[in-house]
């Protein structure tokens, strides 16, 4: 019944705009909690579900929905984060519409339509069992997020939205060409109909997804887009959308892993350099949202490192996506909370001691950075499996081990250093603010889930499911 569950948020895309803002927000959040139940069941059931939709001529092949442990794990993160960000969006976007002198009720209808379309497209993407179907939802997510930035972003929002659109469209087109080459080589683009993926196809898909992640070099679009997007969009864009590049690479790797195995060392080194560079860049940022954007580049470097490390590394890719989704969505929402209650405050040099003024946001930020640093949250499993993968792949290679440990330490350091800069130390001249409950409660729901998944019975459920999904396919 995958289709029935996925239809719920899709129907909400078109129904929610007919309701007033509070009702539309409730419908949107509830619509993502329905497939959330499916993802939890799928992780617990340890079964693979395939649901055919339509047969199309060669080389496209069959469109079908694939529910395996990888889909359920990625979908699990997408559902809970999308539901909580939907709730958060109500007070935040009301504040934003007031800034822009828009009619709140009218504009919220347009916003909630695009928001739901954006989140729903990501959910359908991870359950797509055909690369063309996957690409369709990748493009829908691009178009809807582009419009959200273009219409409701900050600064020179139209230029930023165009920059975002061009770079991510290049990523999608490179991947599409790779998909088409694969389809002509195999006579199908359905996952279960592909036997091999050639060099040109692998290279194009990989380069496209490195732009989307993004890695060092192509990362130049990301700090602009994440910083200037309206914060609810940033809270989906950074935690969920960019990580889908890792999802696509992982899917291709599951089908035919030869490319990653052949070029394992340069990809590993690139991942380490990308993560380390962005980690140091975080320390130089004074804009809260731009700082978090560079942190995303650093965290996505983990995924490039992990994909080179065999089965344990593949498990780490999945866990890193979940951990980053939890941690970064929390952190972007903390940035947005400060923006909303202090009228656009983003400059870290003007903060300091904010724990005294907004303690609930401060404590949520702690949980967010704990996720990124792998401290007492589900992220610790990701770091463990990366280290395990390094040892299994390279043996006790001291430079490889030290480089990975270094980027782990760097992530923890910049996280807690940022906490100190913003929330502790001598309080600046700001009055204690009243934070609306929808600006902090969703953060704690995500935070609690991130902690519960390091404890029985949820930790074994998640890890066993991911192990089954990876181990059953990757040699």
SS (H, E, C) 74-120: HHHHHHHHHHHHHHHHHHHHHHHHHHCCCCHHHHHHHHHHHHHHHHH
Question: Dihedral sign, CA of 5, 86, 83, 169?
Answer: positive
Contact 245, 213 (CB under 8 A): yes
| Number of domains composing the chain | 1
Provide the angle, in degrees to the nearest 10, between the axes of the packed helices 244-255 and 69-99.
160
Helix H or strand E encompassing 68: none
Both tokens of 309, joined, read: 């490390």
| pTM metric for this prediction | 0.96
- Upstream peptide bond of 68 is cis (omega within 30 degrees of 0): no
Task: List per-residue pLDDT tens for the chain, 475 residues long.
Answer: 899 999 999 999 999 999 999 999 999 999 999 999 999 999 999 889 999 999 999 899 999 999 999 999 999 999 999 999 999 999 999 999 999 999 999 999 999 999 999 999 999 999 999 999 999 999 999 999 999 999 999 999 999 999 999 999 999 999 999 999 999 999 999 999 999 999 999 999 999 999 999 999 999 999 999 999 999 999 999 888 999 999 999 999 999 999 999 999 999 999 999 999 999 999 999 999 999 999 999 999 999 999 999 999 999 999 999 999 999 999 999 999 999 999 899 999 999 999 999 999 999 999 999 999 999 999 999 999 999 999 999 999 999 999 999 999 999 999 999 999 999 988 888 888 899 999 999 999 999 999 999 999 999 999 999 999 987 544 3
Decide: helix, strand or coil at residue 64. strand
Given a contact cutoff of 8 angstroms between Cβ atoms, the answer to whether 443 and 330 are in contact is yes
List the domain range (segments joined by +) for residue 355.
2-471
CB-facing half-sphere around the CA of 428: CA atoms within 13 A: 14
- pLDDT for residue 289: 97
Chain centroid to Cα 153, Å, comes to 19
Residue where the block lists tokens 């928001």: 115
Query: Which 3-state string (H, E, C) describes the chain?
Result: CHHHHHHHHHHHHHHHHHCCHHHHHHHHHHHHHHHHHHHHHHHHHCCCEEEEEEEECCCCEEEEEEECHHHHHHHHHHHHHHHHHHHHHHHHHHHHHHHCCCCHHHHHHHHHHHHHHHHHHHHHHHCECEHHHHHHHHHHHHHHHHHHHHHHCCCCHHHHHHHHHHHHHHHHHHHHHHHHHHHHHHCCCEHHHCCCCCHHHHHHHHHHHHHHCCCCCHHHHHHHHHHHCCHHHHHHHHHHHCCHHHHHHHHHHHHCCHHHHHCHHHHHHHHHHHHHHHHHHHHCCCEHHHHHHHHHHHHHHHHHHHCCCHHHHHHHHHHHHHHHHHHHHHHHHHHHHHHHHCCCCCEHHHCCCHHHCCHHHHHHHHHHHHHHHCCCCCHHHHHHHHHHHHHHHHCCCHHHHHHHHHHHHHHHHHHHHHHHHHHCCCCCCCCCCCCCHHHCHHHHHHHHHHHHCCCCCHHHHHHHHHHHHHHCCCC
Element containing residue 167 per DSSP (H, E): helix 157-186
Place of tokens 């828009």: 102
Integer Cα distance of 398 and 442 in angstroms: 42
3-state secondary structure of 215: coil
């Amino acid at each position: 019944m995958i289709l029935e569950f996925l239809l719920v948020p899709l129907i909400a895309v078109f129904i929610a705009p007919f309701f007033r803002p509070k009702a539309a927000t409730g419908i949107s959040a509830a619509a993502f909690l329905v497939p959330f139940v499916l993802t939890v069941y799928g992780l617990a059931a340890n079964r693979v579900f395939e649901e055919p939709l339509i047969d199309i001529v060669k080389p496209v092949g069959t469109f079908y929905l694939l529910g395996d442990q990888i889909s359920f794990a990625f979908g699990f993160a997408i559902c809970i984060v999308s539901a909580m960000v939907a709730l958060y969006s109500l007070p935040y976007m009301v504040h934003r519409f007031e800034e822009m002198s828009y009619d709140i009720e009218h504009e919220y209808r347009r916003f909630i339509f695009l928001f739901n379309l954006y989140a729903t497209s990501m959910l359908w993407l991870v359950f797509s069992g055909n690369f063309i179907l996957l690409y369709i939802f990748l493009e829908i997510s691009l178009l809807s997020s582009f419009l959200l930035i273009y219409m409701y972003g900050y600064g020179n929002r139209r230029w930023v939205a165009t920059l975002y659109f061009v770079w991510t469209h290049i990523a999608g087109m490179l991947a599409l060409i790779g998909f088409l080459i694969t389809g002509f080589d195999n006579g199908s683009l359905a996952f279960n109909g592909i036997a091999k993926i050639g060099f040109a196809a692998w290279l194009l898909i990989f380069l496209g997804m490195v732009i989307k992640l993004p890695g060092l070099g192509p990362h130049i679009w990301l700090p602009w887009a994440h910083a200037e997007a309206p914060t609810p969009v940033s809270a989906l864009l950074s935690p969920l959308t960019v990580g889908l590049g890792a999802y696509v690479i992982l899917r291709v790797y599951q089908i035919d892993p030869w490319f990653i195995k052949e070029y394992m060392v340069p990809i590993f080194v690139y991942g380490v350099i990308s993560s380390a560079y962005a980690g140091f860049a975080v320390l130089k940022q004074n804009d809260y949202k731009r700082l978090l954007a560079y942190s995303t580049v650093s965290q996505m470097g983990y995924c490039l490192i992990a994909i080179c490390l065999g089965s344990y590394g593949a498990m780490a890719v999945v866990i890193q996506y979940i951990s980053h989704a939890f941690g970064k969505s929390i952190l972007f929402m903390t940035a947005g909370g400060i923006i909303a209650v202090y009228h656009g405050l983003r400059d870290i040099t003007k903060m300091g001691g904010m724990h005294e003024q907004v303690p609930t946001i401060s404590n949520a930020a702690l949980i967010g950075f704990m996720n990124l640093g792998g401290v007492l949250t589900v992220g610790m499993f990701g770091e463990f499996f990366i280290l395990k993968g390094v040892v299994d792949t390279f043996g006790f290679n001291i430079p490889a081990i030290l480089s990975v440990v270094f980027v782990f330490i760097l992530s923890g350091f910049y996280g807690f250093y940022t906490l100190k800069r913003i929330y502790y130390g001598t309080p600046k001249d700001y009055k204690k603010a009243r934070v609306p409950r929808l600006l902090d409660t969703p953060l704690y729901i995500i935070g609690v889930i991130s902690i519960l998944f390091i404890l029985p019975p949820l930790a074994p459920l998640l890890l066993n499911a991911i192990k089954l999904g990876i181990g059953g396919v990757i040699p």
